[in-house]
Amino acid sequence: MEGEQSFFHLIEYLESYLLELGLELQRDPDDLFLQGKIKGIQHALKYIRMHEHVRKGGHYIDIEID
């Protein structure tokens, strides 16, 4: 249960940070640094959600990050 709450809080934090970055990007749409941060957070959210989904299902998944 504690691990599940940790995933929930991490996802919640990253989603709110992503919204914050999106607002900053609206002010300066050409900021490549912000665009990169947004892409990184989106990838992190995807991997965390995949991990949580697999953990709940009792299966394993290998993730290779280049």
* pLDDT one-digit tens code per residue, 6-22: 888 899 999 999 999 99
Identify the residue with better confidence: 3 or 45: 45
pTM above 0.75, yes or no: no
Q: Flag the least confident range among 32-36, 39-43, 50-54, 58-62.
A: 58-62
Mapped to the 3 state alphabet, what secondary structure does the chain carry?
Answer: CHHHHHHHHHHHHHHHHHHHHHHHHHHCCCCHHHHHHHHHHHHHHHHHHHHHHHHHHCCCCCCCCC
